[in-house]
Structure 1
Amino acid sequence: MTDAVVPDGHEDDDRRAGAEPTAAERMRERRRAAFAKAERVLWRPGFRRTVRERLAVLDAASEVYDLDGYADVYGDGIVEDLEQRVAALLGTEAAAFFPTGTMAQQVALRCWAGRTGSPTVALHALAHPEVHERHAFSQVSGLRPVRVTGEPRLPTAAEIRDFPEPFGTLMLELPLRDAGFVLPTWEELTEVVEAARERDAVVHFDGARLWECTPHFGRSLSEIAGLADSVYVSFYKSLDGFGGAALAGPRTLVEEARTWRHRYGGAVYQQFPTVLSALVGLERELPRLPDYVRHARVVAAALREGLAAAEVPWSRVHPEEPHTNEFRVWLPYDADVLMEAAVSQAEETGTFLFADAWDRGGPGLAFTEVSVRAQGLEWTADDVRAAVADFARRLPGA
């Protein structure tokens, strides 16, 4: 399952005019319509809302910023205020706003490459740049990614120490989304960072969802970010902003990054709507994330219990106790079969239990991602088990 280049439901925008929609396109339309009408979901992300609904987010803008101030021009004003707030939250000297995380991380890593003298970036085989960015590191930034491990977990300290070739930067994705939003323990993370430093490498955190990590580690954002030399955070993944990202770290690095941001086309004339949505997210969503994480564990346990009670031939909730408010569910059916069951349930009952797409994980095996946000807090364990029972009845052989 990818962080789509375009939001869910827009994949068919370039279809030939007049062409008949494919089965996949028809399913996307059904899924989008069912989601819009669903009365019960675990999460209602911004990209599945109408323009009017998204603009309503800015109704709270006056609560987080003085709207009588002037709008930004090429990164001043409100953009600088957001940067200062992020730096304070993460405990870094400075932060720079970027229109995308892909740009922010390319800039960060090429800056480190210049400082370390090495273009080699060690990362996980499932890291976002390796899976979802069309080889941007090598094609655009001249960096050389090397894969430390492909195991569905973060790299270990031993793997870092024993890696057979030199690298200038170690990049760690926290959490590792494509392994199931998994995190190491705090002790494991500190050991990995120490192992990289023993090799004279700098450490960069891909913290797109770093905001969600504090309950698992039992540490503050500044303590987590303080382990790394630089950190990237997203404003739309956890905080439901319109978009945007920030790169945080030493002031000299951030100043250099601003120069590269301009060169990469990231010096946008005005960005105040996106920045306002980020400020609203920091005010409203950030304090609630620990509640989402705690309730995700309730939902995950109820899903396991419900699937077992329904006697589904095999299932897995991974991790069994989620590390963040997001996790994966695996079932022994083809993806299209599971999508049909999920959408049919939503259409007929108004409950969309598995609202994300199902992806093929192997022959007769598929997985989906489950995210628990504000809407999910309304679900009790009994609600989840009842929804699982209804979903399971729609599967072949039930």
Structure 2
Amino acid sequence: MRRPLFRAPFLLCSALLLTTGCESMKPRAVSPSDGTTATATEQPDASAPTEASVLDAGVPNTDATPSPWQRARVGDRVEYAFSAHRGRPGADTGVGVAGHVTLEVVSVQAPWAWLTVTFTDDQGRPLAHPRLSQPRVLPMRTEETQPWKEEHRGQRSAEQTTAAGRTWEARRFLDDRRPSDGPLHNRLYANEPGPLYLTHGLLDASTTLSGFGASGSQQLTLVSFRQGSDAAGNVPVLDRPWGPGTWYDVRQDLSGTPSVRRVCLGAERGFVLRKELTGPTGDAPCADFRDAEPQPLEEALLAAVSEAVSQPQQWPPVAAGTAPPRRETFTVAQHPIPAFVLEAPAGEGAERRVQVTTYAADPWGAALNGLADEARFIPLADSVYRTAPKGKRVPEDGTELAGWGKWVIDGGR
């Protein structure tokens, strides 16, 4: 689970619980196969993965096994049906979202393949949910700077299955953590990814929540795929990035101790990379992805759906009973951003405190061009103030977005 970048404001949870549910948005029973038969079952692999040598970021690993990413072509495409649902405590219905997500290669300029990630409804129209309403761009390095490996846990079984009009020899990974109040992870991969190399051969993926009052699930199911051509394509503008190719800084002041964290986002051969640094790093903001947190692209898609359904479906996320937001201009570095400011009482006790939270008025607006998706839907600033006897506010803890930029520029060359 991704660590929160800012302290989660109280009103986000409240707004989610008060969001109107929709029974029709519960996960659809989309079968990953037309005739799946298990042919063998294997015990979980308890052995630790072999430790791989680490190379400097930016220096291709020439000894790596040839990857289908090196043969990426414009028009290579995979499409999945997705659904996600979250139950609400004490209610028969919950909140949900469903539709299709498409990954497509739109340009290949070695060593980069440029992808678009688009979420739509079942008819191909944009979704109303603010987090999923706009397509985004993802530059993927086709050469790896160090080996990245997938880790599949749980019981494995071999199957032959039909999906997207084709029969696949496949392997299922079933990781059931419900006995210890954990989730159930169910993944089905083609043994030979072939045209599904964008997502490591994923045919179907689902996660069912369990324990500690959790109720819900999310699922991806392969719908179609297409192989492209040798055209070069036009490199898209990185104005609305999913994240890779960009960085952003967060300034924190916690208990009187100031600090700045830089978040670097990258992608290599089907893995999304995330690395946090202490303090800005000068003219080369993300030159080294050693020790980055890797996430397979298909798991990042599933996480995006999960995060969307866990967030309020209205913007800004104003909880019932909260005073209406006021409009202001919030400046980050050289970027003036139209914003909403919300205020709400914070905590209890003799001293009065107030939480002041600032959101971008339009998370997809031009004022945020170049900012990673994950930073658009959290507060631009979130601070707690103590009210002194004469009414003066004294800042206590706070975080705010301090800057952002792109480290993949000029088409990545």
Q: Could you tell me the TM-score, scaled by structure 2's length?
A: 0.25
Which of structures 1 and 2 has the larger relative contact order (alpha carbons within 8 angstroms, sep 6+)? Answer: 1
For the pair shown, which has the larger CA radius of gyration, 1 or 2?
A: 2
Q: Could you tell me the TM-score, scaled by structure 1's length?
A: 0.26
